Structures are given as C-alpha cells and as structure tokens.
Amino acid sequence: MAALLTELFTVEHVAELPAGWTRLSEDPAPTEVLPLSISVRNDEGIEKLKQRLAEISNPKHKDFGKHLSRDEVRALRQPSRERTDAVLAWLEESGIVDAEIHDDWVRVNSTVQGAKDLLGAEIAYYTFPGRPPMLRTRRYGVPAGRVAESVAFIHPLSNFFVKPHESDEEHAERRRREAQEARMDAELQKRQVPDEPINPPEGTTPVEKPPCADETTPDCLRELYNIRYALVEEEAESSDTLYLVAGFLEQNLFHPDTHDFMDKYAPHIPDSVRNISVELINGGTDPQIMSKAGMEAALDVQYALSLSHPVNVMYSITGGRGVKLDANGDPMPENRADNEPYLEFLEYMLEKEDEELPHVISISYADDEQGVPRPYALKVCDLLAALTSRGVSIIGATGDGGSRGVRYGDCRSNDGLKRPITMASFPASCPYVTAIGAVNQVSPPQVATFSTGGFSNYFERPDWQATDVEAYITTLDGRLSGHYNDTGRAIPDISAIGVAFNIYYGGGPGAAMGTSASAPVIASMFALINDARRRKGLGRTGWLNPRLYSEEVRAVVNDVGRISAAVFDGGAGRVPEVGLWDGNWGAGGF
C-alpha cells in the first residue's frame, strides 16, 4: 500500500487513447501476473555515450572511426549505484524482493493488485482490433524524490503502441491493393517519359528515358545510381562484411521466392549465397510455407542480395509477442506476452560480440511518431545511439503516408487538444537512424506521393542538420506555422526510387512500392562501401548522418532536394521534398 501513503510523481499519462484502442468493461483478476520492466535513468552516461559518438563520427576529430566496444557501451549504459539502489529499496519496501537487474533495467513479476498499490494505477484490459486484450493503464506514478529521479518509465504499462496484426486474408488483400497502386503509379510516371528519344531542335540533345523508367530491377538500379563494384574473382567469392535486413510482424522469408528472383534478375549470384541465414529473435519463427510468405521480407531480401553481392546478407525475424514465463516458470497466456519488437531487437543486437555485429542494418518499418509513447521512443533512440557507437550504420524507411503519417490518420494531435498537425514517423525520426524517403521514376527525381517526411516532436534538430533545415523553413515564409515543430529533427535524409519494384512473392512474380523499397537500396550501397573499406584495411562507416550533411559528401552526390524536410499539403497528404539527395554509390566522402 506504499503508493497510497506516499505522494506520487506521475511518470506517464495518456491523455487520449490512440485511435483503435478501447477499454473493456471486464476487470482483471487481482492476482493476475503482470511483469514490469523498470527503466532506470542514466542521463549522464547516455550523454557521455552520445558525446563520444559525435567525436568518433567526426572526420576532423583525432578519434574518428574509433568505435566503442561492447564492454565500453555496457559501462556507459550502467546507471549509478545510487539510482539502482533507490529503485530496489522502493520495491523491497513494497514487498517485492525478486527483482532482476540487467544493464539499465530492473525487471519484476508483479500482479494487477500489486501494480495498483505500487503505482497508484488503475490497471484494466484494453484492446486493439485484431489483438487480444492487454493489461494497461493510462496513468501511473512513483514516489516523488529519489525514486522519481531514478525511474525513466515502466514498460509496458502505458504502451499503447502496437503494430497492426492482420489476418492472412487482410494481409493478402492489402498487398494486392498496394501492388495495383504501384502498377498504376508506374504507368502514370511512364506517360511523363517518352518511349523513344524525342527529335530535338537542331543543336540540342535528345531526351531519353532514365533507368528504371518502366520498372525497377537490380540492373536498372545499378545503372541509375552508378553502383559499380568490381572485384577480382577470388575476392568476389567471400566477404566478412555483414548486412542485416531486420524483419518484424511475422514477415516470413520464403526461400523459393528468393531463388526464383535470383534466377530472373541476378543469375550470376551462386546458390550458396541465396540460401540466406535467418536469425530468430524474441520468439520469431521461420515457417517455410508459401501462404505465410511476407511481401516485405521478399522485397527487402531480394534487393539486398542482388545489389550488395558479395556482402553477407542476413535476415532477422523479431517476434512481437515472445513467450514469457510467470513467477512459477510457466508460460504466460498469449495476451500477456506482449514484448514489443524494437526494444527486444536492439537489446539482442547490443549483446553481440563486436565481430558479430552487422556493418549495416536496414529497417523497413515505421509508425506515426505520436503513436509511440515518448519515454519508450527516447529509450529506443538511446539504444540506437548505442548501436551506432559500435560502428553499425542504421538505415530506416520513413513510411508511406505522406504528411498524414504512416497510418493515414486524421492529422490531429493525441494530447487531448486535437490540434491539426503533420506527422513524422518513428524510428526514422531518431537522429541516429538515416531516414530514407522515396522518389518516382521520372528525371529529374520527384517525391513519390506516398513518401512520409516532416519534423519530429520528440527529437530536437541536430547541429549537423541546422543550416539546411533553417534555410528551408525561411522559404516557407510562415506557411503552416503551428502545424509542425520548426525546431525538430527533420526527415528524410536520403531518398531513392520507391515505385514499381519487380519481386517474387508467394510463389510468383509481383510488384511492390514504398519507402520500404527505397531503404534496402540505400542500405545495399552502404554495405558495399563498408566492404570496400574493409578490403582496404579501413573501419566501419558507423553513424552516417553527420557526414551525409558535410560539404565533402554533398559536393559529389545528386542533389534533388534542398533539405531533409517536408513541405506539407495537408489535403493531399504529399511531401514534395525528398531529402538531401538520391543515392549515388560512386559518391566520395566515405
């Protein structure tokens, strides 16, 4: 009953339930097990890590390229003993003595009644369409003073962030619709480009179709972005460079689709490379059943393999609902095992030995930033910073909802005020992710109508982005003021073609589109750059963003947009800016 006798400091308060969530009238049993993960504050250590990351990512600093080891990152992540002790003492006073400590987490098995007493929280069942009920609360607190100063947040109490979970029929229908839209978009773009060179006026150059004008394939991408990577035969047979394509949401890779795609579009890649390694994380599964094939998995892996050869491409599947055990060691019901994949994925990666870490990770998943709890988003971003400090380059798609956001929402804030706003996406808005937008097939490139971009409400604008973004905001001359955060981190950073991608999916050919198509294209370029550097005895590229905005890099890339921000057309939900540039693998600076 400690919470009832102590003044509580509110840690999280959900003013308005996100769209789709409802509270059930049924009350949970007081004795129902409720596992809690308490994030212990370590602001000082994380700031030191970020400062060190800025130094090793600056070519002008004496320690440039000296990435941190696993042990160095682990040491910086450890909270002070005083803060951990404050949390443990509070738990012991409340009768909880079986706490487990891991880095900056304290994990306990509580009950519904225990959490109510401990946190002054009204625990209830909440549900989201297509998902089982979950135990959540809209407000909770901890004792003011030392405990409040030591607790960042408690997961997953107020986490109403959930990735959509579709039935097989819904999934198939949505993918059919997206493929049809991709074909229609491709046809529209083709009409803007002549089928044959136009007979120009005397003394001028004929207009020719750009690469990928009709369809997007590995060959036309290599031509479009100058991807030239020639190795002698014995070098091309192997590589120590690791490129991980991250998968979530039961996006299963069906290996026969990969082989069919390679036969058609990359026959030079040997069978041994096509048998891609799949890493299962947090209860992820890899069923080799055609009906379970994921279009996202097919798209990402097929273009990663075909564009980045001879780099070692891997695929990971992180389960969003991994099995948990209750206090007795028995498996908990599925509706209580609600681990969220980003935290689990990043913690898993950070546990890897230094030599096991990927050089590049491609993430083709995004959600509306405001739909992600702020404390949770800040924690995930800190883990992304920790991963980049170890030399990993992280590429993330911005999503496909334009200025309306990934979920095509109503452009209203969820703080109870329902203010008209534009939507950024997460995790692309985290400054340690290189955010990827999409352009269409015409020349010069123009933003794809679906490509999400904008300004973060969670993360401040980094110094390396300030000059470009502030110059852009000036050109708006006050337009849309109040509808976006003019001091926030701006996305995307880079854009690449994102329409009319040919793939093999579910046993046959298909088409795909989206920033999730653009992301593995850019990631493949940086995988090759890492491979070239490794063969020259150089280190990993690591955190990319400060160098992307440097004059050295910008001088040699294709400049297709003045800045990495968006101008918004709220009615159409379109983003006419595409980022700093559309990729050119031949670019210098790396």
Q: Is 234 a catalytic residue?
A: no
Are 128 and 100 in a shared domain?
A: yes
Yes or no: say if 159 and 340 are a contact pair by the CB < 8 Å rule: yes
| Exposed/middle/buried for residue 9 (C-beta within 10 Å: 0-12, 13-18, 19+) | middle
Taking residues 531-548, report their average pLDDT: 93
Per-residue CA distances from 210 to 199, 224, 436, 474 (Å): 17, 8, 21, 33
pLDDT of residue 423: 81
570: confidence class by pLDDT, cuts 50, 70, 90: very low
Query: Which tokens belong to 21?
Result: 């969530």
**48 in any annotated domain:** no
Are 201 and 124 in a shared domain?
A: no
Whole-model pTM over 0.75: yes
- What residues does 501 pair with on adjacent strands? 216, 512
Residues in CB range of 555: below 8 A, 6 or more apart: 588
**72 in any annotated domain:** no
Are 305 and 372 in a shared domain?
A: yes
**61 in any annotated domain:** no
Are 119 and 250 in a shared domain?
A: no
Are 82 and 196 in a shared domain?
A: no
**212 in any annotated domain:** yes
Are 399 and 361 in a shared domain?
A: yes
Residues in CB range of 247: below 8 A, 6 or more apart: 253, 284, 294, 296, 297, 300, 315, 316, 317, 318
pLDDT of residue 565: 30
Yes or no: say if 560 and 497 are a contact pair by the CB < 8 Å rule: no
235: confidence class by pLDDT, cuts 50, 70, 90: low
**353 in any annotated domain:** yes
Q: Please tell me which of 65-74, 219-228, 320-329, 421-430 the model is most confident about, judged by mean pLDDT.
A: 65-74
Whether residue 332 is predicted with pLDDT greater than 70 in this model: the reply is: no
Domain boundary among the residues 121, 155, 189 is at: 155
pLDDT tens-digit series, residues 8-60: 999 999 988 887 899 999 999 999 999 999 999 999 999 999 999 999 999 88
410: confidence class by pLDDT, cuts 50, 70, 90: low
Q: H helices of 242-353, where?
A: 255-265, 271-274, 295-308, 341-350
DSSP label of 568: -
Assign 201 to helix, strand or coil. coil
**588 in any annotated domain:** no
The domain that contains 174 carries what CATH number?
A: 3.40.50.200
Are 150 and 173 in a shared domain?
A: no
Pairing between β-strand 124-127 and β-strand 22-23 as defined by DSSP bridges: antiparallel
- 104, 257, 260, 300: which is the annotated catalytic residue? 300
Are 108 and 172 in a shared domain?
A: no
Domain boundary among the residues 122, 155, 188 is at: 155
> Apex CA 164: angle with CA 575 and CA 506, to 5°?
90
192: confidence class by pLDDT, cuts 50, 70, 90: very low
Whether residue 456 is predicted with pLDDT greater than 60 in this model: the reply is: yes
Q: Is 100 a catalytic residue?
A: no
Residue 372 lies in domain: 168-284+295-330+340-582
Q: For all residues of the chain together, what is the average pLDDT? A: 82
Taking residues 474-478, report their average pLDDT: 84
Are 125 and 212 in a shared domain?
A: no
pLDDT higher for 525 or 193? 525
Whether residue 408 is predicted with pLDDT greater than 80 in this model: the reply is: no
- 117, 250, 257, 296: which is the annotated catalytic residue? 296
Give the separation between CA 367 and CA 398, rounded to whole angstroms: 8
Domains in the chain, number: 2
- DSSP E strands in 369-452: the ranges are 393-397, 425-426, 434-439
Q: Please tell me which of 97-111, 398-412, 438-452, 476-490 the model is most confident about, judged by mean pLDDT.
A: 97-111
Q: Is 300 a catalytic residue?
A: yes
Yes or no: say if 501 and 216 are a contact pair by the CB < 8 Å rule: yes
Per-residue CA distances from 361 to 230, 322, 522 (Å): 23, 22, 11
- 429, 516, 518, 564: which is the annotated catalytic residue? 516
Are 12 and 108 in a shared domain?
A: yes
Domain boundary among the residues 155, 190, 217 is at: 155
Give the separation between CA 190 and CA 3, rounded to whole angstroms: 65
Residues in CB range of 25: below 8 A, 6 or more apart: none
Whether residue 265 is predicted with pLDDT greater than 90 in this model: the reply is: yes
pLDDT of residue 328: 42
Longest dimension (CA), the chain: 89
Q: H helices of 270-340, where?
A: 271-274, 295-308
- Up-side HSE of residue 51: CA atoms within 13 Å toward CB? 7
Pairing between β-strand 454-460 and β-strand 488-491 as defined by DSSP bridges: antiparallel
